[in-house]
Structure 1
Amino acid sequence: MTDPLVKISGLSVRYGSNTVLDHVDFRIDRGEIVTIVGPNGSGKSTLLRAVIGGISPSEGRITHAAGLRIGYVPQKLVLDPTLPMTVARFLSLPRRASAARIADALERAGVPGLQTQQMAALSGGQFQRALLARALLDRPDLLILDEATAGLDQPGAAAFYRRIEEVRSETGCAVLMVSHDLHVVMSASDRVICLNGHVCCEGTPQVVAEAPVYRALFGEGTQGTLALYQHHHDHDHGPHAKPVEEAH
Protein backbone atom coordinates (compact mmCIF):
# COMPACT_ATOMS: atom_id res chain seq x y z
CA MET A 1 0.00 0.00 0.00
CA THR A 2 1.34 3.44 -0.90
CA ASP A 3 1.91 6.02 1.80
CA PRO A 4 -1.21 8.09 2.58
CA LEU A 5 -1.45 11.79 1.77
CA VAL A 6 -2.51 12.43 5.36
CA LYS A 7 -2.33 10.11 8.36
CA ILE A 8 -3.86 11.01 11.71
CA SER A 9 -3.07 8.91 14.77
CA GLY A 10 -4.78 9.30 18.15
CA LEU A 11 -5.87 12.89 17.45
CA SER A 12 -7.55 14.65 20.36
CA VAL A 13 -8.52 18.33 20.39
CA ARG A 14 -9.66 20.03 23.59
CA TYR A 15 -10.80 23.56 24.31
CA GLY A 16 -10.46 23.92 28.07
CA SER A 17 -12.44 21.07 29.61
CA ASN A 18 -14.39 20.48 26.39
CA THR A 19 -13.10 17.55 24.30
CA VAL A 20 -14.11 18.13 20.65
CA LEU A 21 -12.20 15.19 19.13
CA ASP A 22 -11.20 12.13 21.12
CA HIS A 23 -8.50 9.75 19.80
CA VAL A 24 -9.38 9.93 16.11
CA ASP A 25 -7.46 7.66 13.72
CA PHE A 26 -7.85 8.54 10.09
CA ARG A 27 -6.06 8.44 6.72
CA ILE A 28 -6.58 9.81 3.24
CA ASP A 29 -5.07 7.96 0.29
CA ARG A 30 -4.23 9.38 -3.11
CA GLY A 31 -7.18 9.78 -5.46
CA GLU A 32 -9.98 8.82 -3.07
CA ILE A 33 -13.07 10.82 -2.15
CA VAL A 34 -13.67 10.71 1.60
CA THR A 35 -16.73 12.29 3.21
CA ILE A 36 -17.12 13.10 6.88
CA VAL A 37 -20.69 13.09 8.18
CA GLY A 38 -21.93 13.71 11.68
CA PRO A 39 -24.39 15.79 13.71
CA ASN A 40 -23.80 19.45 14.55
CA GLY A 41 -21.00 19.84 17.09
CA SER A 42 -19.45 16.47 16.22
CA GLY A 43 -16.03 17.96 15.42
CA LYS A 44 -16.18 17.81 11.59
CA SER A 45 -14.84 21.31 10.93
CA THR A 46 -12.30 20.91 13.74
CA LEU A 47 -10.96 17.78 12.01
CA LEU A 48 -10.62 19.66 8.72
CA ARG A 49 -8.81 22.54 10.41
CA ALA A 50 -6.43 20.06 12.03
CA VAL A 51 -5.68 18.47 8.64
CA ILE A 52 -4.98 21.90 7.12
CA GLY A 53 -2.75 22.82 10.05
CA GLY A 54 -4.95 25.54 11.53
CA ILE A 55 -5.31 23.74 14.87
CA SER A 56 -2.65 22.07 16.98
CA PRO A 57 -3.64 18.69 18.43
CA SER A 58 -3.94 18.35 22.19
CA GLU A 59 -2.79 14.76 21.68
CA GLY A 60 -1.80 12.56 18.76
CA ARG A 61 -0.04 13.37 15.51
CA ILE A 62 -0.84 14.39 11.95
CA THR A 63 1.55 13.37 9.17
CA HIS A 64 1.40 14.91 5.69
CA ALA A 65 3.04 13.44 2.59
CA ALA A 66 6.15 15.37 1.57
CA GLY A 67 5.30 18.45 -0.52
CA LEU A 68 1.54 17.96 -0.05
CA ARG A 69 -0.47 20.69 -1.82
CA ILE A 70 -3.91 21.37 -0.32
CA GLY A 71 -6.75 23.30 -1.95
CA TYR A 72 -9.51 24.52 0.40
CA VAL A 73 -13.11 25.53 -0.35
CA PRO A 74 -14.72 27.21 2.69
CA GLN A 75 -18.37 26.94 3.68
CA LYS A 76 -18.89 30.57 2.79
CA LEU A 77 -16.91 33.69 2.07
CA VAL A 78 -18.41 37.12 2.63
CA LEU A 79 -17.25 39.82 0.23
CA ASP A 80 -18.30 43.46 0.39
CA PRO A 81 -20.99 43.65 -2.34
CA THR A 82 -20.05 47.28 -3.08
CA LEU A 83 -16.46 46.30 -3.84
CA PRO A 84 -15.84 46.08 -7.60
CA MET A 85 -13.92 42.87 -8.17
CA THR A 86 -13.89 40.60 -11.19
CA VAL A 87 -13.57 36.85 -10.88
CA ALA A 88 -10.11 37.03 -12.49
CA ARG A 89 -8.99 39.62 -9.91
CA PHE A 90 -10.40 37.47 -7.07
CA LEU A 91 -8.46 34.44 -8.33
CA SER A 92 -5.26 36.53 -8.36
CA LEU A 93 -5.45 37.29 -4.63
CA PRO A 94 -3.21 37.09 -2.67
CA ARG A 95 -0.77 35.78 -5.33
CA ARG A 96 -0.98 36.80 -8.92
CA ALA A 97 -2.08 34.00 -11.24
CA SER A 98 -1.56 33.99 -15.01
CA ALA A 99 -4.53 34.33 -17.35
CA ALA A 100 -3.88 30.78 -18.58
CA ARG A 101 -3.96 29.31 -15.07
CA ILE A 102 -7.14 31.24 -14.23
CA ALA A 103 -8.83 30.03 -17.42
CA ASP A 104 -7.77 26.44 -16.69
CA ALA A 105 -9.05 26.58 -13.09
CA LEU A 106 -12.42 28.02 -14.15
CA GLU A 107 -12.72 25.34 -16.83
CA ARG A 108 -12.04 22.62 -14.25
CA ALA A 109 -14.58 24.19 -11.88
CA GLY A 110 -17.20 24.00 -14.64
CA VAL A 111 -17.61 27.76 -15.19
CA PRO A 112 -15.42 28.61 -18.22
CA GLY A 113 -15.37 32.24 -19.32
CA LEU A 114 -16.37 33.72 -15.96
CA GLN A 115 -13.22 35.87 -15.70
CA THR A 116 -14.80 39.28 -16.43
CA GLN A 117 -17.92 38.79 -14.29
CA GLN A 118 -18.19 40.79 -11.08
CA MET A 119 -18.01 38.61 -7.94
CA ALA A 120 -20.98 40.51 -6.47
CA ALA A 121 -23.14 39.61 -9.50
CA LEU A 122 -22.58 35.84 -9.35
CA SER A 123 -25.34 33.42 -8.40
CA GLY A 124 -24.78 31.22 -5.33
CA GLY A 125 -23.74 28.31 -7.52
CA GLN A 126 -21.34 30.42 -9.60
CA PHE A 127 -19.80 31.90 -6.45
CA GLN A 128 -19.06 28.43 -5.05
CA ARG A 129 -17.56 27.42 -8.41
CA ALA A 130 -15.32 30.51 -8.25
CA LEU A 131 -14.17 29.37 -4.78
CA LEU A 132 -13.56 25.90 -6.21
CA ALA A 133 -11.53 27.38 -9.08
CA ARG A 134 -9.40 29.28 -6.58
CA ALA A 135 -8.75 26.05 -4.66
CA LEU A 136 -7.74 24.31 -7.92
CA LEU A 137 -5.26 26.99 -9.06
CA ASP A 138 -2.22 25.24 -7.58
CA ARG A 139 -3.24 21.76 -8.76
CA PRO A 140 -3.71 20.37 -5.25
CA ASP A 141 -3.00 16.77 -4.25
CA LEU A 142 -5.84 17.08 -1.72
CA LEU A 143 -8.99 19.16 -2.15
CA ILE A 144 -10.82 19.98 1.10
CA LEU A 145 -14.45 21.12 1.11
CA ASP A 146 -16.13 22.35 4.29
CA GLU A 147 -19.88 22.18 3.59
CA ALA A 148 -19.20 23.91 0.30
CA THR A 149 -22.82 23.50 -0.88
CA ALA A 150 -24.51 24.84 2.27
CA GLY A 151 -26.24 27.68 0.39
CA LEU A 152 -27.26 25.69 -2.70
CA ASP A 153 -30.50 23.88 -3.48
CA GLN A 154 -30.40 20.11 -4.01
CA PRO A 155 -29.98 20.21 -7.82
CA GLY A 156 -27.20 22.81 -7.41
CA ALA A 157 -25.51 20.69 -4.73
CA ALA A 158 -25.79 17.53 -6.85
CA ALA A 159 -24.24 19.34 -9.85
CA PHE A 160 -21.42 20.64 -7.64
CA TYR A 161 -20.58 17.15 -6.33
CA ARG A 162 -20.68 15.69 -9.86
CA ARG A 163 -18.14 18.35 -10.78
CA ILE A 164 -15.97 17.30 -7.82
CA GLU A 165 -16.04 13.69 -9.07
CA GLU A 166 -14.97 14.94 -12.51
CA VAL A 167 -12.13 17.00 -11.00
CA ARG A 168 -10.91 13.90 -9.17
CA SER A 169 -11.06 11.88 -12.42
CA GLU A 170 -9.24 14.58 -14.42
CA THR A 171 -6.51 15.48 -11.92
CA GLY A 172 -6.19 12.41 -9.66
CA CYS A 173 -6.46 14.57 -6.54
CA ALA A 174 -7.92 13.19 -3.34
CA VAL A 175 -11.01 14.89 -1.90
CA LEU A 176 -11.95 15.31 1.75
CA MET A 177 -15.33 16.86 2.37
CA VAL A 178 -17.78 17.62 5.15
CA SER A 179 -21.43 17.80 4.20
CA HIS A 180 -25.00 17.70 5.45
CA ASP A 181 -26.27 16.66 1.99
CA LEU A 182 -26.34 13.00 2.97
CA HIS A 183 -28.20 11.75 -0.10
CA VAL A 184 -25.92 13.50 -2.54
CA VAL A 185 -22.68 12.94 -0.68
CA MET A 186 -23.16 9.21 -0.26
CA SER A 187 -23.40 8.85 -4.04
CA ALA A 188 -20.16 10.80 -4.62
CA SER A 189 -17.93 9.10 -2.01
CA ASP A 190 -15.55 6.16 -2.02
CA ARG A 191 -15.40 6.12 1.76
CA VAL A 192 -17.56 7.69 4.46
CA ILE A 193 -16.49 8.46 8.03
CA CYS A 194 -19.24 8.95 10.59
CA LEU A 195 -17.90 11.29 13.28
CA ASN A 196 -19.36 12.21 16.66
CA GLY A 197 -16.35 13.38 18.64
CA HIS A 198 -14.77 10.05 17.70
CA VAL A 199 -15.04 7.80 14.63
CA CYS A 200 -18.35 5.95 15.09
CA CYS A 201 -18.05 3.91 11.90
CA GLU A 202 -16.37 4.10 8.51
CA GLY A 203 -16.37 2.24 5.23
CA THR A 204 -18.00 2.32 1.83
CA PRO A 205 -21.24 4.35 1.59
CA GLN A 206 -23.31 1.16 1.62
CA VAL A 207 -21.61 -0.21 4.76
CA VAL A 208 -21.99 3.08 6.65
CA ALA A 209 -25.60 3.69 5.56
CA GLU A 210 -26.53 0.25 6.95
CA ALA A 211 -24.61 0.68 10.22
CA PRO A 212 -26.87 0.93 13.30
CA VAL A 213 -24.83 3.83 14.72
CA TYR A 214 -25.33 5.83 11.50
CA ARG A 215 -29.09 5.24 11.59
CA ALA A 216 -29.17 6.16 15.27
CA LEU A 217 -27.52 9.50 14.49
CA PHE A 218 -29.44 10.34 11.32
CA GLY A 219 -32.74 8.52 11.71
CA GLU A 220 -34.32 5.59 9.92
CA GLY A 221 -35.25 7.78 6.94
CA THR A 222 -31.70 7.40 5.64
CA GLN A 223 -32.48 4.34 3.55
CA GLY A 224 -33.21 6.80 0.72
CA THR A 225 -29.50 7.51 0.75
CA LEU A 226 -28.85 3.93 -0.29
CA ALA A 227 -31.34 4.04 -3.14
CA LEU A 228 -29.60 7.11 -4.54
CA TYR A 229 -26.20 5.58 -3.90
CA GLN A 230 -27.12 2.45 -5.86
CA HIS A 231 -28.61 4.53 -8.68
CA HIS A 232 -25.33 6.38 -9.16
CA HIS A 233 -23.06 3.39 -8.64
CA ASP A 234 -24.12 1.05 -11.39
CA HIS A 235 -20.64 1.91 -12.68
CA ASP A 236 -17.40 0.89 -10.99
CA HIS A 237 -14.97 3.39 -9.51
CA GLY A 238 -12.22 1.85 -11.61
CA PRO A 239 -8.82 1.93 -9.97
CA HIS A 240 -10.25 3.83 -7.00
CA ALA A 241 -12.67 1.08 -6.01
CA LYS A 242 -12.23 -0.02 -2.40
CA PRO A 243 -13.18 -3.38 -0.92
CA VAL A 244 -16.12 -3.20 1.44
CA GLU A 245 -14.88 -2.57 4.94
CA GLU A 246 -16.70 -3.66 8.04
CA ALA A 247 -18.24 -0.82 10.01
CA HIS A 248 -17.32 -1.03 13.65
Structure 2
Amino acid sequence: MTPLIESRALTIHRPGTTEPVLAQVDFRIRPAEIVTVVGPNGSGKSSLIRALLGHMPLASGAVTRRQGLRIGYVPQRVQLDTAIPMTVRRFLSLPVRVSDVQAEDALVRTGVPGLGARQLTQLSGGQFQRVLLARALLADPHLLVLDEPTQGLDQPGIVAFYQLIEEVRRQTGAAVLMVSHDLLVVMRSSDRVVCLNGHVCCEGTPQHVSTAPEYRALFGAGAEGTLALYQHRHDHDHDLTPHVHGPGCGHDHADRAQG
Protein backbone atom coordinates (compact mmCIF):
# COMPACT_ATOMS: atom_id res chain seq x y z
CA MET A 1 0.00 0.00 0.00
CA THR A 2 1.13 3.55 -0.71
CA PRO A 3 2.30 5.22 2.52
CA LEU A 4 0.22 8.05 3.93
CA ILE A 5 3.42 9.86 4.91
CA GLU A 6 6.98 8.93 4.05
CA SER A 7 10.34 10.56 4.77
CA ARG A 8 13.62 9.92 3.01
CA ALA A 9 16.94 10.80 4.64
CA LEU A 10 15.16 13.39 6.80
CA THR A 11 17.66 15.58 8.66
CA ILE A 12 16.79 18.42 11.04
CA HIS A 13 19.25 20.90 12.55
CA ARG A 14 18.92 22.85 15.76
CA PRO A 15 17.82 26.41 14.99
CA GLY A 16 20.77 28.54 13.92
CA THR A 17 23.26 25.65 13.99
CA THR A 18 24.41 22.75 11.87
CA GLU A 19 24.04 20.33 14.78
CA PRO A 20 21.53 17.61 13.87
CA VAL A 21 18.51 16.84 16.01
CA LEU A 22 17.66 14.01 13.61
CA ALA A 23 19.88 12.59 10.89
CA GLN A 24 19.04 10.50 7.81
CA VAL A 25 15.64 9.27 9.06
CA ASP A 26 13.67 7.04 6.72
CA PHE A 27 10.09 6.64 7.92
CA ARG A 28 6.72 5.55 6.58
CA ILE A 29 3.22 4.84 7.82
CA ARG A 30 0.63 3.05 5.73
CA PRO A 31 -3.19 3.02 5.88
CA ALA A 32 -4.70 1.41 9.02
CA GLU A 33 -1.25 0.87 10.57
CA ILE A 34 -0.47 1.77 14.18
CA VAL A 35 3.13 2.94 14.55
CA THR A 36 4.67 3.98 17.86
CA VAL A 37 7.84 6.06 18.09
CA VAL A 38 9.85 5.58 21.28
CA GLY A 39 13.11 7.03 22.53
CA PRO A 40 14.65 8.83 25.51
CA ASN A 41 14.08 12.50 26.26
CA GLY A 42 15.77 14.63 23.62
CA SER A 43 15.89 11.85 21.06
CA GLY A 44 13.97 13.81 18.42
CA LYS A 45 10.55 12.15 18.70
CA SER A 46 8.47 15.33 18.72
CA SER A 47 10.77 16.91 16.13
CA LEU A 48 10.03 14.01 13.79
CA ILE A 49 6.30 14.52 14.24
CA ARG A 50 6.55 18.25 13.54
CA ALA A 51 8.67 17.64 10.46
CA LEU A 52 6.26 15.02 9.10
CA LEU A 53 3.38 17.46 9.59
CA GLY A 54 5.28 20.24 7.82
CA HIS A 55 5.72 22.35 10.95
CA MET A 56 9.53 22.18 11.03
CA PRO A 57 11.98 22.94 8.22
CA LEU A 58 14.28 20.20 6.96
CA ALA A 59 18.03 20.65 6.64
CA SER A 60 17.97 17.93 3.99
CA GLY A 61 15.90 15.00 2.84
CA ALA A 62 12.23 14.99 1.86
CA VAL A 63 8.77 14.28 3.25
CA THR A 64 5.99 13.02 0.97
CA ARG A 65 2.33 13.09 1.98
CA ARG A 66 -0.42 11.31 0.07
CA GLN A 67 -2.54 13.74 -1.95
CA GLY A 68 -5.68 14.76 -0.07
CA LEU A 69 -4.38 13.34 3.22
CA ARG A 70 -6.52 14.37 6.21
CA ILE A 71 -4.70 14.42 9.55
CA GLY A 72 -6.13 14.61 13.06
CA TYR A 73 -3.59 15.84 15.59
CA VAL A 74 -3.50 15.51 19.38
CA PRO A 75 -0.63 17.70 20.63
CA GLN A 76 1.65 16.99 23.54
CA ARG A 77 0.52 20.06 25.49
CA VAL A 78 -2.42 22.45 25.28
CA GLN A 79 -2.15 25.67 27.26
CA LEU A 80 -5.51 26.82 28.62
CA ASP A 81 -6.14 30.34 29.85
CA THR A 82 -8.22 29.70 32.96
CA ALA A 83 -9.43 33.32 32.90
CA ILE A 84 -11.29 32.74 29.62
CA PRO A 85 -14.29 30.41 29.95
CA MET A 86 -14.70 27.86 27.17
CA THR A 87 -17.03 24.93 27.00
CA VAL A 88 -16.15 21.60 25.45
CA ARG A 89 -18.77 22.27 22.76
CA ARG A 90 -17.17 25.55 21.74
CA PHE A 91 -13.69 24.02 21.81
CA LEU A 92 -14.83 21.32 19.39
CA SER A 93 -15.90 24.04 16.93
CA LEU A 94 -12.44 25.59 16.76
CA PRO A 95 -11.29 26.37 14.14
CA VAL A 96 -14.12 24.85 12.05
CA ARG A 97 -17.70 25.03 13.30
CA VAL A 98 -19.43 21.66 13.70
CA SER A 99 -23.03 20.82 14.47
CA ASP A 100 -24.27 19.68 17.87
CA VAL A 101 -24.84 16.22 16.40
CA GLN A 102 -21.27 16.02 15.06
CA ALA A 103 -19.82 17.20 18.37
CA GLU A 104 -21.79 14.76 20.46
CA ASP A 105 -21.03 11.89 18.09
CA ALA A 106 -17.30 12.57 18.49
CA LEU A 107 -17.64 12.67 22.28
CA VAL A 108 -19.58 9.40 22.26
CA ARG A 109 -16.92 7.80 20.06
CA THR A 110 -14.19 8.73 22.56
CA GLY A 111 -16.13 7.61 25.63
CA VAL A 112 -17.12 10.99 27.11
CA PRO A 113 -20.72 11.62 26.04
CA GLY A 114 -22.62 14.57 27.44
CA LEU A 115 -19.61 16.76 28.24
CA GLY A 116 -20.45 19.48 25.72
CA ALA A 117 -21.67 22.00 28.30
CA ARG A 118 -18.76 21.47 30.69
CA GLN A 119 -15.95 24.00 31.02
CA LEU A 120 -12.60 22.70 29.79
CA THR A 121 -11.01 23.69 33.09
CA GLN A 122 -13.43 21.39 34.94
CA LEU A 123 -12.30 18.25 33.14
CA SER A 124 -10.03 15.60 34.57
CA GLY A 125 -6.81 14.81 32.73
CA GLY A 126 -8.32 11.70 31.18
CA GLN A 127 -11.48 13.53 30.09
CA PHE A 128 -9.45 16.33 28.52
CA GLN A 129 -7.33 13.88 26.49
CA ARG A 130 -10.49 12.23 25.19
CA VAL A 131 -11.92 15.62 24.23
CA LEU A 132 -8.71 16.38 22.33
CA LEU A 133 -9.06 13.06 20.56
CA ALA A 134 -12.73 13.80 19.77
CA ARG A 135 -11.67 17.12 18.21
CA ALA A 136 -9.07 15.32 16.09
CA LEU A 137 -11.67 12.81 14.88
CA LEU A 138 -13.97 15.59 13.65
CA ALA A 139 -11.65 15.96 10.65
CA ASP A 140 -12.54 12.39 9.60
CA PRO A 141 -8.80 11.75 9.40
CA HIS A 142 -6.92 9.17 7.38
CA LEU A 143 -4.15 9.52 9.97
CA LEU A 144 -4.27 10.29 13.70
CA VAL A 145 -1.07 11.77 15.12
CA LEU A 146 -0.74 11.59 18.91
CA ASP A 147 2.27 13.26 20.58
CA GLU A 148 2.71 11.87 24.11
CA PRO A 149 -1.09 11.59 24.49
CA THR A 150 -1.09 10.10 28.00
CA GLN A 151 1.08 12.62 29.83
CA GLY A 152 -0.28 13.22 33.31
CA LEU A 153 -2.55 10.16 33.35
CA ASP A 154 -2.29 7.42 35.96
CA GLN A 155 -1.61 3.82 34.95
CA PRO A 156 -5.28 2.75 34.62
CA GLY A 157 -5.96 5.90 32.59
CA ILE A 158 -3.03 5.14 30.29
CA VAL A 159 -4.22 1.59 29.65
CA ALA A 160 -7.78 2.78 29.03
CA PHE A 161 -6.60 5.43 26.57
CA TYR A 162 -4.60 2.94 24.50
CA GLN A 163 -7.58 0.60 24.46
CA LEU A 164 -9.61 3.50 23.12
CA ILE A 165 -7.05 4.10 20.36
CA GLU A 166 -7.37 0.48 19.26
CA GLU A 167 -11.15 0.84 19.16
CA VAL A 168 -10.95 4.09 17.18
CA ARG A 169 -8.70 2.44 14.61
CA ARG A 170 -11.11 -0.49 14.35
CA GLN A 171 -14.13 1.79 13.87
CA THR A 172 -12.62 4.39 11.53
CA GLY A 173 -9.83 2.56 9.72
CA ALA A 174 -7.52 5.50 10.40
CA ALA A 175 -3.81 4.91 10.75
CA VAL A 176 -2.31 6.00 14.07
CA LEU A 177 1.12 7.49 14.66
CA MET A 178 1.98 7.78 18.35
CA VAL A 179 4.92 9.19 20.25
CA SER A 180 5.12 7.68 23.70
CA HIS A 181 7.34 6.99 26.69
CA ASP A 182 4.86 4.62 28.40
CA LEU A 183 6.88 1.47 27.86
CA LEU A 184 4.67 -0.67 30.08
CA VAL A 185 1.68 -0.41 27.77
CA VAL A 186 2.77 1.36 24.61
CA MET A 187 3.19 -1.83 22.61
CA ARG A 188 -0.20 -3.34 23.28
CA SER A 189 -1.70 -1.77 20.16
CA SER A 190 1.33 -1.20 17.95
CA ASP A 191 1.85 -2.94 14.64
CA ARG A 192 5.32 -1.45 14.34
CA VAL A 193 7.73 0.32 16.69
CA VAL A 194 10.39 2.84 15.69
CA CYS A 195 13.15 3.48 18.23
CA LEU A 196 14.80 6.92 17.85
CA ASN A 197 17.87 8.49 19.37
CA GLY A 198 18.90 11.19 16.92
CA HIS A 199 18.50 8.60 14.16
CA VAL A 200 16.53 5.37 13.74
CA CYS A 201 18.21 2.82 16.00
CA CYS A 202 15.91 -0.07 15.22
CA GLU A 203 12.38 -0.73 14.03
CA GLY A 204 10.02 -3.62 13.50
CA THR A 205 7.40 -5.53 15.41
CA PRO A 206 7.25 -4.96 19.18
CA GLN A 207 8.68 -8.43 19.66
CA HIS A 208 11.67 -7.64 17.47
CA VAL A 209 12.39 -4.24 18.99
CA SER A 210 12.08 -5.56 22.55
CA THR A 211 15.06 -7.87 21.97
CA ALA A 212 17.19 -5.46 19.93
CA PRO A 213 20.50 -4.52 21.60
CA GLU A 214 19.98 -0.91 20.51
CA TYR A 215 16.67 -0.74 22.38
CA ARG A 216 18.09 -2.31 25.53
CA ALA A 217 21.06 0.07 25.45
CA LEU A 218 18.62 2.97 25.66
CA PHE A 219 16.12 1.67 28.19
CA GLY A 220 18.07 -0.87 30.23
CA ALA A 221 18.30 -4.63 30.40
CA GLY A 222 14.82 -4.93 31.95
CA ALA A 223 13.09 -3.14 29.10
CA GLU A 224 12.52 -6.34 27.12
CA GLY A 225 9.96 -7.51 29.65
CA THR A 226 7.98 -4.28 29.50
CA LEU A 227 7.48 -4.56 25.76
CA ALA A 228 6.40 -8.16 26.05
CA LEU A 229 3.76 -7.35 28.68
CA TYR A 230 0.96 -7.00 26.15
CA GLN A 231 0.38 -8.85 22.93
CA HIS A 232 -1.31 -7.25 19.92
CA ARG A 233 -3.44 -9.26 17.57
CA HIS A 234 -5.11 -8.02 14.41
CA ASP A 235 -6.74 -9.43 11.31
CA HIS A 236 -4.99 -7.36 8.65
CA ASP A 237 -1.53 -7.49 7.13
CA HIS A 238 1.36 -5.04 7.15
CA ASP A 239 4.94 -5.11 6.01
CA LEU A 240 6.54 -5.68 9.39
CA THR A 241 10.03 -6.56 8.25
CA PRO A 242 12.38 -5.72 11.14
CA HIS A 243 15.26 -3.34 10.56
CA VAL A 244 18.28 -2.21 12.52
CA HIS A 245 19.85 1.06 11.46
CA GLY A 246 23.36 2.41 11.79
CA PRO A 247 25.47 2.41 14.92
CA GLY A 248 24.20 1.48 18.35
CA CYS A 249 22.31 3.99 20.47
CA GLY A 250 24.05 3.93 23.80
CA HIS A 251 23.74 6.63 26.42
CA ASP A 252 26.77 8.54 25.13
CA HIS A 253 24.85 9.23 21.94
CA ALA A 254 21.74 10.15 23.93
CA ASP A 255 23.71 12.90 25.65
CA ARG A 256 24.60 14.37 22.25
CA ALA A 257 21.02 14.19 20.99
CA GLN A 258 19.36 16.43 23.56
CA GLY A 259 16.76 18.86 22.30
Report the residue type matching 2:9 in the other structure. G
Q: Per-residue deviation at 1:204?
A: 0.3
In 2, the alpha carbon distance for the partners of 1:209 and 1:100 equals 43
Does structure 1 conserve the Cα–Cα contact (< 8 Å) formed by 2:86 and 2:119? yes
Verify the 8 A CA contact 1:70 1:142 in the aligned structure 2. yes
RMSD: 1.3
Partners of 1:51 and 1:170 in 2: CA distance: 25
Quick one: distance in 2 between partners of 1:227 and 1:218?
Answer: 14
* 2:150 corresponds to 1:153: no
The alignment's TM-score, normalised by the length of structure 1, stands at: 0.94
> Which residue number in structure 1 is paired with residue 252 of structure 2?
none
Q: What is aligned with 2:34?
A: 33
What are the Cα deviations for residues 2-46 of structure 1, in whole angstroms up to 9, with x where unaligned?
211011101001121220010000100000000000111111000
1:172-221, CA deviations, whole angstroms, 9 ceiling, x for partnerless residues? 00000100101211112100000011100000000000101100000011
The residue type equivalent to 1:91 in the other structure is L
Q: CA deviation at 1:82?
A: 2.9
Q: Which runs of 4+ in 1 moved over 6 A?
A: none
Report how far residue 85 of structure 1 moved. 1.3
Is the Cα contact below 8 Å between 1:72 and 1:143 reproduced in 2?
A: yes
Aligned to 2:141: 140
| 1:4 equivalent in structure 2 | 3
Q: Which residue type is aligned with residue 167 of structure 2? A: E
Map 1:31-180 onto structure 2 (within 5 A). Answer: 31-180=32-181
* Distance of 2:228 and 2:29 partners within structure 1: 26
Deviations 1:133-175 (A, max 9, x none): 1111111111001101111111101111110111001000000
The percentage of aligned residue pairs carrying the same residue is 61
Amino acid in the other structure paired with 1:102: A
Q: Which runs of 5+ in 1 are unaligned?
A: none
> Equivalent residue of 1:139, what SS?
coil
Aligned residues between the structures: 243
After TM superposition, give the deviation of residue 109 of structure 1 in Å. 1.5
Do the aligned partners of 1:205 and 1:229 also contact (CA within 8 Å) in 2?
Answer: no
Amino acid at match of 2:145: I
Q: Which is richer in helix?
A: 1
CA distance in 2, matches of 1:202, 1:171: 26
Hey, what does 2:251 align to over in structure 1?
Answer: none
Assess if the C-alpha contact under 8 Å between 1:31 and 1:240 holds in 2. no
Deviations 1:33-62 (A, max 9, x none): 000001111110000001111012110110
Specify every segment of 5 or more residues in structure 2 that has no aligned partner in the other structure, as ranges: 246-259
Question: What letter corresponds to residue 88 of structure 1 in structure 2?
Answer: R
TM-score, length of structure 2 as denominator length: 0.90
Report the alpha carbon displacement of residue 223 of structure 1 after superposing the two structures with TM: 2.7
Q: Distance in 2 between matches of 1:177 and 1:225?
A: 17
Task: Please name the residue that 1:204 is paired with.
Answer: 205
Asked if structure 2 preserves the Cα contact closer than 8 Å seen for 1:8 and 1:60, the reply is yes
